[in-house]
Structure 1
Amino acid sequence: MEMSFKPLEAIIPIDGRYRGRVGEASRYFSEYALIRERLRVEIEFLIKLVEICRGELSFKLPQDWKDRLLKIIEEFKLEDAERIKELEKILGHDVKALVNYLRERLHQIELEPLSSYIHLGLTSDDVNNLAYSLLLSRFRDEVLIPNLIGVIEAISEEARKHLETIMLGRTHGVPAIPTTFGRFLSNYAYRLARIAHELASFKFPGKLGGAVGDHSALKFTYPKVDWIEFSKSFVESLGLEYIPASTQILPHDRISEFLSKISILDAITSNLCRDLWLLSSLGLLVFGRKVGEAHSSTMPHKSNPLHLENAEGALDLASSIASFMARRLISSRLHRDLSDSIIKRFYGLPLTLTIIGFKSLMEAFKRMNVLRDKMRLEVENHPESLTEAYQVYLRAHGVEDAYELVQEALGRGWSEILKKIKDRGLPDEIVKRLEEIKPTEYVGEAVRIGSMLLDEVEKILRRIGE
């Protein structure tokens, strides 16, 4: 009996609660997507194999044989994948089920003589590693990078707007010295842009090698063919990086590099969420709510930074899962074991959680209101943030114990500092310089650095788009 899927019955929230936000990920991470990509690899390989071995074929092929094969990919539907699943129930092997399905299709399109060449000399991972890399590559190009660029542009827009918005910097959670809100955000825009470029230029790996990576079956069958060169050419024709060092499986080192970058990306973005949340808790940012929304089941007045919190949770979870995968996939017993197979089926989990996090953060930015006056007032209310300026300036003018002088005087009250400095008999111009400086002016190169970083972000994003 057929069962229709209902989101409310989903086992995990990605396919239930959050399906509306990330349903597009199904094109890359569903089992249907994987089966379809395996089919593509099998057919592309079959075409290349027949081309190179055609002189040894004992039968003639119709002129349009390639078109007929490629049409199998074009016409592949969910019903075809279901047929493969039926075969898998009998065979207990997913790739072998695909091979048998292809034999059925070749019979239907009158290319039955090619049936014995399907999957010839290959092992399952020859097909799987290429299929996964192709799916990950497309997801990166079509979903991940566009969403990440959207986040970076949102951060950059706010940073530009607030390059001169004074805020109190905090180290260890307590007041330090003044900076600007735009400068603070520009750091995040730059960090994310750099890793976006690394991800966008990442080359996904691929291999062909047979049972233990040595092309033994194909070399025995067709000894005149350079199977190493054939494999390299085939993998690169798919837009992937050929990896010659393999066992039965493609070592997951390169995929682990990609997942590690994802983990770092998520950790950086989650850190931004926490920082914005902290500024909200200090009353310096407000995240509004839409008319009719309820942010508490009991307190009608509440307007919570819930989108930040949602993003933070999703990104932390994504980062942890991606980090685990990156570490675990590196390990494989001897020439292969199957423990990696189930892990790879969950590639979509951290990557889809990443997109959920990005979309929640984007919603938070749409609702964010920066309270400039409160930021400025906070700086003005912390004149002690100038103690660094005082002690460095005094030491540069020969007051060796300036640090201790300022620290001791501050213990008696802010007004004591200038009095103590005057008591040292320093030149009037030195005292005057210290008297005139205001906390809101003590931002060093913040505006210039922020602007430079944002200019660099724009350059990086342009390079990604080229």
Structure 2
Amino acid sequence: VAKMARSHAKIPLLARTHGQPATPTTVGKELAVFATRWQRQLRQVEQAEYLGKFNGAVGNYNAHVVVYPQAPWEEIARTFVERMGLTFNPLTTQIEPHDFLAEIFHTLIRFNTITLDFDRDMWTYISLGYFRQKTVSTEVGSSVMPHKVNPIDFENSEANLGISNALLDHLAGKLSVSRLQRDLTDSSAMRNVGAAVAYSLLAIRSAIRGLSRVAVDETALRHDLEDAWEVLAEPVQMAMRKAGCENPYERMKELTRGQDITQETMQAFIQGLELSKPDRARLLGLAPAAYTGLAERLARQAER
């Protein structure tokens, strides 16, 4: 995704907030947002501590001290646990409390949820025609509608992420709770860790497969932008504020809200404003496809 963000850094895209046309962005910048979010969660997984204990039936070295009373048991336990590649937990009951597992599972839930957000955005972009799906001759899109090419990979990913998150959420809550010094509920629950992670892996693979089978439809993006001159209401009203014009927001709202705004409409309005020559020229030279701010630069910041 980060690679795709950089290669699509310049391609303008009509943003949508609340489903409605909003300030333009670029395809690459929106992909870079997801890449950065995923990378942050992966760093947290990589930095996770895995704890271990070696202190007897209820965590007090009771039998150890009786059999070898002179042995430095805390030091021995720490050395043993750390040689196993774990972080030593000196204070436990019969079991290591599993809080570190809950932390890891919550991080995986966040990673999954970001992927779910990505799946839904890609599904929506495909629905809007912003991305075309590559056809596979052996696939059937619909049992009765032969023309269809459905975004099944993103839908399958979304479904499996839901199952994974449900399991991970239960495990994160369950494994941190054990009655008094120990009960056996953690043992049964732990048998589902593999399934929880496996559903996540299936979902990620589906999302990757879905991404590999789409291509940006720049023509569709351009058409949408050409029909969205109302999005320039934002920079125009900001220039009006800079120039000290009265009621800039209200005047732009009256001009654009619920109206079919064209290039001619917007530029005629700009011509009638008391702006400096540089500001007027800058606004008259602006089009929705060019109004992307620093999106291209931001897209190229996606980590490799």
Is the TM value for this pair above 0.5?
A: yes
Provide the C-alpha distance between the structure 2 equivalents of 1:216 and 1:404, rounded to a whole number of angstroms. 77
Give runs of aligned pairs for residues 324-363 of structure 1, distance below 5 A.
324-363=170-209
Instruction: Note if contact 1:410-1:416 (Cα within 8 Å) is conserved in structure 2.
Output: no
> Residue 193 of structure 1 corresponds to which residue in structure 2?
39
1:450 maps to which of 294, 299, 303: 299
Residue 157 (structure 2) aligned to one of 311, 327, 342: 311
Q: Hey, what's the Cα distance between the residues in 1 that align with 2:233 and 2:96?
A: 58
Amino acid at match of 2:90: P
Which residue among 285, 292, 302 is the counterpart of 2:131? 285
Q: Tell me what 1:165 maps to.
A: 11
Q: As a proportion of its length, which structure holds more helix? A: 1
The 8 Å contact of residues 119 and 207 in structure 2, kept in 1 or not, is answered as yes
**Cα pair 2:51 2:86 within 8 Å, conserved:** yes
TM-score by length of 1: 0.62
In structure 2, the residue matched to 1:384 is 230
Q: Report the counterpart of residue 244 of structure 2 in structure 1.
A: 398
Please state whether the residue corresponding to 2:22 is helix, strand or coil: strand
1:407 aligns with 2:253: yes
The one-letter code matched in structure 1 to 2:291 is: Y
| CA deviation vs aligned residue, 1:340-380 (integer Å, no higher than 9, x gap) | 11111111111011110111111112211111121122111
Where does 1:429-440 land on structure 2 (aligned, <5 Å)? 429-440=278-289
Letter in 1 for 2:232: L
1:32 aligned residue:
none
Unaligned runs of 5+ in 1: 1-154, 459-466
CA distance in 1, matches of 2:222, 2:266: 23
Could you say which residue in structure 2 is the equivalent of 1:74?
A: none
CA distance in 2, matches of 1:373, 1:193: 31
Tell me, what secondary structure is at the counterpart of 2:163?
helix
2:207 is matched by which residue type in structure 1? L
In structure 2, do the counterparts of structure 1 residues 363 and 427 end up closer, same or farther at CA, with 3 Å as the change threshold?
closer
Task: Specify the structure having the higher radius of gyration (Cα).
Answer: 1
- Shift of the 229–400 alpha-carbon distance from structure 1 to 2, 3 Å rule, reads farther
Deviations 1:407-455 (A, max 9, x none): 1122455355554554454444443332221111111000111112x2x
2:91 is aligned, of 216, 221, 245, to 245
- The structure whose RCO (Cα within 8 Å, separation 6+) is larger is 2
Aligned twin of 1:217: 63
CA RMSD of aligned residues (A): 1.6
Write the distance in 2 (CA, Å) between the matches of 1:413 and 1:311. 38
- How do residues 56-95 of structure 1 correspond to structure 2 at under 5 angstroms? none
What SS class does the counterpart of residue 177 from structure 1 fall into? coil
Shift of 1:271: 0.7
Q: Tell me how many residue pairs correspond in the alignment.
A: 301
Greater CA deviation, 417-426 or 284-293?
Answer: 417-426
Q: In structure 2, which of residues 202, 216, 221 is the aligned counterpart of residue 370 of structure 1?
A: 216
Q: % of aligned pairs identical? A: 33
Counterpart of 1:245 in 2: which secondary structure?
coil
Partner of 1:229: 75
Aligned-partner Cα distance in 2 for 1:260–1:427: 54
In structure 1, C-alpha distance between the alignment counterparts of 2:54 and 2:74, rounded to whole Å? 9
